[in-house]
Structure 1
Amino acid sequence: MHITRRVLGAGAGVTAAVLVLVTGWQAGAAEEQVPGQGLYQVRGADTAVERTDVSRTGVDVLGVREGAMEVVAGPAQAAALRAQGFTVSLLGDWAAMLDARGGGVARAADFPAGDEGYHTYEEMVAALRSAASAHPAITAVSSIGSTYEGRDLPVIKISDNAAADEDEPEVLFTCNMHAREHLTTEMCLHIVDRFTSGYGTDDGVTANVDAKEIWVVPSQNPDGAEFDISGGEYQGWRKNRQPGDDGTVGTDLNRNFSYKWGCCGGSSGSPSAETYRGPSAASAPEVRAVQSFVDSRVVGGVQQIKGHIDFHTYSELVLWPFGFTHDTVTEGMTQEEYDRFTSVGEEMAASNGYTPDQSSGLYITDGDITDWMWGQHKVLSYCFEMYPSGGGVEGFYPPDEDIAPQTTRNDGAVDILLSNAT
């Protein structure tokens, strides 16, 4: 039996696609003025099916609201969308917007001036080591593998007896799948800080650490994240840094997971596309590392990880499987299971003010981590699209003053997931 869900349409508040105009650019600017990629508004995509048609052209979808999509595309892609009947308006030069957001010269190998509150890769590693040093009894830092460029992918375990593999439910938090989504690394580091510094003083934190084994991977794509801030300027980079046979760089890690990889038109086979799924399932070393780690938590034939959140930006959404189909009840998902996803997802969304929905309510995706976590291992897995609700290039690079309020905003949701990870 296949039960199809009602997809979100106009007025559902999927996200807020704020149209950011850089000085010197206005809607309707002559397209030939853009030497490369532009920021476009696409109208007429009122349903998930139509939004899927837009995403399948390989454009970089930034946000969706009430039928208006905000995408980064080249002139040829814009023309292809117009040929499909969509209304496409140029908002500005994407590269110029990134330059404007960079805002000055930063220290070497750091974020642009004014945003140094974000953690670089080395600062992230140092933060994990510092937490482990300060709280040795409840932490253990290790690695799940290496990136294409050879960077370590650290993971920290937080539990009352971290040195032992106890028979306790496990919960996994992963961040920074997409390079430019730096706020998510801060989200994972906040989780680490909260469950280490609060142990023994905060009753809720202490109870969770005593009863669970908490795993945190703050960056799944450090190669891409470091490239995104190279030269002290934002690059707007999404993918990893693995070159293909044609020399084109980058695989979209969140289209490269093995479950339903490339099955359903929810990713691109073109290496130049932002949603390029790679030449084969789990071809990216970062994806292989995550999958191998989760596979390793099968002990005695039972998956120990019971709950998972993969943090992204932006749009303020709580999403659950499946992304590859609009069906709710289908192969791998019973009505009872879907109802549980909905109940927990809506509870978490009520705590942080996000919008809850099945992943495919936006558009079809395949080969993503939440589908794999559930489809392969039956882990209660969610994708959080964090702050802001919209904003063009600004949406990926909120000022560092937003880190504290937007990470603590998810404390309640994290606790809800932990309480349901049984």
Structure 2
Amino acid sequence: MRPRFRSSPTGRLSRNTWATGALAALLTLAMASPAAPRGAGQAAPPTASYEVSGPRTAAQRTAVAATGASVDAVRPRSVTITADGAQAERIRRMGYRVTRLPGPPDRSDGSDDKARSPFDFPPGDEQYHTYAEATAEIDADIAAHPSLMSKQVIGKSYEGRDIVAVRVANDAVRTAAAKPEVLFTHHQHAREHLTVEMALYLLKEFGTEYGTDPRVTKLIDSRVIWIVPDVNPDGGEYDIATGTYRSWRKNRQPNAGSNNRGTDLNRNWDYKWGCCGGSSGSTGSETYRGSGPASAPEVKVVADFVRSRVVDGKQRIKAAIDFHTYSELVLWPFGWTYSDTAPGMTQDDRDAFAAVGKSMAASNGYTPEQSSDLYITDGSIDDWLWGNQKVFAYTFEMYPDASGTGGGFYPPGSVIDRETARNREAVLQLLENADCMYRSIGKEQQYCSGSAS
């Protein structure tokens, strides 16, 4: 297991009085000589992937992100970012060594019979599912298991594609109390295609193992599972629209007064939106937070769906995982503050998050930590789910690890089966804990009397 990326115990930025001043100084440097705002008729310059050698603390990584670059992977003494040339130069002026990395992998063998096809994955990655192929796979699973699965269109993407939620439950089995519900969301960031495969794996696993695996059967009988396989279908289709990978991250909605398209969906949620230097106000940035909270239609669709699960004043969804790539991490809130506890997060809340998170990480070999141990983010889904709805929400950063070896955002299709199945145990653990997350810290009687099991 890789080391957690905190400062030393005697100088932890998240816990010491000099943290605020250090962060302020770094942010001031990061914002020095800012690029002029891009107005109408100006589009963001091309981006590339870079290795930035030198950042070691969460505050230093936050300062790198404050340039508008996205921090894609964190290592003890360096980070991988996606940035345009101006952002990369600003980071160099912060005193770091910035090295451009190769673009997305090309696994084609160059033969004529494997010509690149538009709106499809590049040759060599045919195992991945396009939006249409994933839709067909989902419909086939539902048709094969109609007593367990159903689908509802919960809204539309900016370009009009269906965003769906698949419900997995056995309504023939009654419980004394309302069944706890668990939400799995996938593909907020367009280039993270492995997450859609994770959703398809879960549907296949739940369908085929029900009635065969006693553990899966018990969970489907006693839980309501919601799977949203593709939060950002427009971005995903755009990423493969030329038959090669474009390294696209955001959605595809236009931005007023600019030719730059797209909002970073995972900076657009209506909790601590834009509060804390964890997103960008520039439309050309990889982490552009949008014109306002939930201004991205895809975010509003999922947020409205979550709010619809409030019944008789109580949120039925108790736990959630939002799947991303890459770095092999299990993360929990908050992202907007370095503090373990904050308004809306008690010590018991934090301890329950950590206990279940560490247990899940022990099962899949990921590294468990609070989101802000990496760097500050604001407007993220996990912070919103917990801060606004009191849902125990985690982010899983899937394969590969932070080194990026294995394809970075574009691992080969040959690893899909292995890397999705790798999370089976963690998913089952969350489902088992969902009725009372505080059981993990021995406080079930205090918090969960009368809960369903």
After TM superposition, the score normalised by the length of structure 2 is 0.83
SS in 2 for 1:82: helix
Given that 1:144 and 1:293 are in contact with CA atoms closer than 8 Å, whether structure 2 keeps it comes out as: yes
Tell me if structure 1 keeps the 8 A contact 2:47–2:82. Answer: yes
1:193 corresponds to: 204
Distance 2:313 2:108 in 1: 49
Asked whether the 8 Å contact 2:117–2:242 carries over to 1, the reply is no
Aligned partner of 1:331 in structure 2 is 343
1:71 to 2:77 alignment: no
Equivalent of 2:161, from 146, 151, 154?
Answer: 151
Contact persistence 1:132–1:141 (CA under 8 A): yes
Aligned residue among 80, 88, 93 for 1:83: 93
Q: Which residue of 1 aligns with 2:404?
A: 391
| 1:27 alignment partner in structure 2 | none
Map of 1:298 onto structure 2: 310
Alignment of 1:111-190 (within 5 A): 111-161=121-171, 167-190=178-201
2:242 paired with 1:244: no
Q: Spell out, residue by residue over 1:95-120, the C-alpha distance to the aligned partner (whole angstroms, 9 max, x if none).
A: xx237456663445321112111111
RMSD, aligned CA: 2.0
The answer to whether the Cα contact below 8 Å between 2:107 and 2:124 also exists between their aligned partners in 1 is: no
Q: Is the 8 A contact 1:370 1:382 kept in 2?
A: yes
TM-superposed CA distance for 1:274, in Å, is 0.2
Q: Distance in 1 between matches of 2:365 and 2:382?
A: 21
Question: Are residue 409 (structure 1) and residue 409 (structure 2) matched?
Answer: no
Task: Say which SS state the counterpart of residue 340 (structure 2) adopts.
Answer: strand
What's the CA shift string for 1:313-360, capped at 9, x where partnerless?
000000000000001111000000000000000000000000000000
Aligned residues between the structures = 389
Name the SS for the 2:104 alignment partner: helix
Q: 1:99 to 1:64 in 2, by over 3 A?
A: closer
1:203 paired with 2:201, answer: no
Q: What is the DSSP-based 3-state SS (H/G/I as helix, E as strand, rest coil) of the residue aligned with 1:248?
A: strand
Task: Specify the alignment match of 1:234 in structure 2.
Answer: 245
Asked whether the equivalents of residues 47 and 85 of structure 2 are also in contact (C-alpha less than 8 Å), the reply is yes
SS at match of 1:413: helix
Letter in 1 for 2:421: T
Residue 327 of structure 2 aligns with which residue? 315
Q: 2:92 is paired with a residue of what secondary structure?
A: helix
Q: 1:61-113, CA deviations, whole angstroms, 9 ceiling, x for partnerless residues?
A: 22111121112222221221122222223345xxxx23745666344532111
Amino acid at match of 2:53: R
User: 1:192 and 1:261 mapped to 2: Cα distance?
Assistant: 32
Structure 1 residues 75 and 247: CA distance shift in structure 2, 3 A:
closer
Provide the C-alpha distance between the structure 1 equivalents of 2:184 and 2:6, rounded to a whole number of angstroms.
27
TM-superposed CA distance for 1:276, in Å, is: 0.2
User: Structure 1 residues 38 and 109 mapped into 2: Cα distance closer, same or farther (>3 Å)?
Assistant: closer
Please list every run of 5 or more consecutive structure 1 residues that lacks an aligned counterpart in the other structure: 1-5, 11-34
Amino acid across the alignment from 2:6: L
CA contact (8 A) 1:374 1:381 kept: yes
8 Å CA contact retained: 1:101, 1:394: no
1:216 aligns with 2:227: yes
What is aligned with 2:20? none
Q: 2:269 matched to which residue of 1?
A: 257
Pair 1:98-2:104 in alignment: yes
Code of the residue aligned with 1:129 in structure 2: it is: D
Equivalent residue runs for 1:355-374 within 5 Å: 355-374=367-386
The amino acid across from 1:280 in the alignment is: G
Give the secondary structure class of the aligned counterpart of 1:329. coil
Amino acid across the alignment from 1:369: I
- Structure 2 vs 1, CA of residues 102 and 38 (structure 1 numbering), >3 Å: closer, same or farther? farther
* Counterpart residue identity of residue 169, structure 1: P
Please list every run of 5 or more consecutive structure 2 residues that lacks an aligned counterpart in the other structure.
9-44, 436-453
Aligned sequence identity (%)? 52
Distance 1:80 1:103 in 2: 38
Using the alignment, how far apart are the partners of 1:193 and 1:100 within structure 2? 29
Q: Deviations over 1:24-62 (max 9, x none)?
A: xxxxxxxxxxx9434322122110000000011011322
Whole-Å Cα distance in 1 between the matches of residues 249 and 100 of structure 2?
A: 21
The whole-number CA distance in structure 1 between the counterparts of 2:47 and 2:336 is 28
Deviation string, structure 1 residues 350-391 (Cα, Å, up to 9, x no partner):
000000000001000000000000001110100000000032
Tell me if 1:58 matches 2:68. Answer: yes
What is the alpha-carbon distance in structure 2 between the residues aligned to residue 311 and residue 91 of structure 1? 25
d(CA) in 2 for partners of 1:369, 1:36: 27
Q: What SS class does the counterpart of residue 210 from structure 1 fall into?
A: helix
Which region of structure 1 is more displaced relative to structure 2, 379-388 or 165-174? 165-174
Q: TM-score, normalised by structure 1?
A: 0.88
Contact 1:151 1:222 in 2 (8 A): yes
Does structure 1 conserve the Cα–Cα contact (< 8 Å) formed by 2:105 and 2:410? no
Matched residue SS, 1:277: coil
SS at match of 1:172: strand
Would the alpha carbon gap of residues 144 and 392 (structure 1) be closer, same or farther in structure 2, given more than 3 Å must change?
Answer: farther
In the TM superposition, residue 277 of structure 1 has moved relative to its aligned partner by 0.2
